[in-house]
């Protein structure tokens, strides 16, 4: 029961998340998107606080959200944060939002889980942690990784990742169809073929364990949890999504060569894929 609640809380946490340079003259002929990249500003807000709920239970709330003073498009900012409760995207607004989330979390643990809390007789530390990380910003594509981690008792904590790529040129979240027109069933076939290309690092008494040996599914879904670099498209899967918890999170690459004939022309040009 507790593990189920932790997973639900973590999913909600990631959903809610989904968590200056000097201006210079731009030479004639230089692309507008390059100008935006030069002026791109990133700040952050962090809240990290603990409280003692009972003699036996300590609870911590920690969250770090990025702030983008350079971005003004509301639809884009809405998609970056993914929470309708955020009305003010300034640093002060994001800080106020996190303070409210912290208070609600502490109140929820203290009041909505009274039956669980009263059963705790030995010291426990429960927590909810989340953060946003700017992984890359190139060719007008901004990649943010969201990570959530929670523990509310039980054998182990729960954690998950969310990868989102934003098209700063068109002010929206990038969808898989913006990258490739390959049918989903074909992508899923490649994912299954490439499952062991990046090992999760899991080991047992006999050494390294392949990702394919820990699968819980017959078909690996092509989800919206993807990102890319100059060589590959990557799909990121959190624990329990396709494999056992022991496997950790799994990343599966698909090379541009494998997708070449199906790549979106605008995407291909902006990424300079030959």
Please give the span between the terminal C-alpha atoms of the chain, in angstroms, as a whole number.
Answer: 51
CATH 3.90.640.20 domain extents, the chain: 175-274
pLDDT above 90 covers a percentage of the chain that reads 69
Residue span(s) of the chain under CATH 3.30.565.40 come to 1-172
Q: How far apart are CA 195 and CA 250, in angstroms?
A: 9
Helix, strand or coil, per DSSP, at residue 252: strand
- Cα 14 from chain centre: 7
What's the pLDDT tens digit per position in 157-166? 888 999 999 9
Look at residue 10 in the predicted model and tell me its pLDDT: 52
Class level of CATH domain 175-274 = alpha beta
Mean pLDDT of the chain: 87
Query: In this predicted model, which residue has the larger pLDDT, 198 or 27?
Result: 198
| Cα gap 165→159, rounded to integer Å | 20
Assign domain 1-172 to a CATH class: alpha beta
Residues 6 or more apart in contact with residue 135 via CB below 8 angstroms: 143, 144, 145, 227
Q: Exposed, middle or buried: residue 233 (CB in 10 Å: 0-12, 13-18, 19+)?
A: buried
For 135-160, what is the mean pLDDT?
92
d(CA 257, CA 20): 38
Note if the pTM is more than 0.95: no
Q: pLDDT for 4-18, tens place per residue? A: 444 445 544 554 444
- Residue 81 in this model has a pLDDT that exceeds 60: yes
pLDDT per residue over 204-250, tens digit each?
A: 888 899 999 999 999 999 999 999 999 999 999 999 999 988 899 99
Q: What is the DSSP string of 118-166?
A: HH--S-EEEEEEEEEEEEEEETTEEEEEEEEEEESSSSS-EEEEEEEEE
**In this predicted structure, what is the pLDDT of residue 20?**
35
């Amino acid at each position: 029961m507790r593990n189920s609640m932790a997973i639900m809380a973590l999913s909600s946490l990631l959903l809610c998340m989904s968590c200056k340079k000097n201006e210079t003259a731009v030479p004639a002929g230089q692309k507008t998107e390059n100008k935006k990249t030069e002026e791109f500003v990133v700040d952050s807000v962090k809240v990290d606080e603990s409280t003692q709920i009972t003699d036996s239970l300590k609870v911590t709330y920690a969250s770090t959200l990025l702030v983008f003073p350079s971005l003004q498009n509301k639809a884009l900012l809405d998609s970056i944060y993914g929470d309708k409760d955020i009305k003010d995207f300034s640093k002060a607004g994001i800080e106020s939002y996190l303070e409210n989330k912290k208070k609600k979390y502490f109140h929820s643990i203290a009041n909505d889980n009274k039956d669980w809390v009263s059963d705790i007789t030995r010291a426990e530390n429960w927590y909810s942690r989340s953060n946003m990380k700017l992984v890359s910003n190139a060719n007008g594509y901004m990649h943010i990784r969201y990570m959530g981690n929670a523990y509310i008792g039980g054998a182990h904590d729960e954690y998950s990742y969310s990868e989102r790529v934003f098209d700063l040129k068109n002010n929206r979240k990038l969808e898989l169809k913006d990258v490739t027109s390959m049918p989903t069933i074909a992508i899923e076939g490649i994912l299954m073929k490439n499952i062991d290309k990046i090992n999760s690092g899991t080991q047992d008494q006999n050494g390294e364990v392949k990702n394919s040996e820990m699968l819980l599914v017959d078909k690996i879904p092509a989800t919206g949890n993807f990102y890319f670099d100059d060589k590959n498209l990557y799909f990121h899967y959190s624990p329990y999504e396709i494999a056992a918890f022991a496997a950790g999170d799994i990343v599966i690459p698909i090379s541009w060569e494998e997708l070449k004939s199906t790549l979106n022309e605008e995407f291909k040009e902006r990424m300079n894929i030959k």
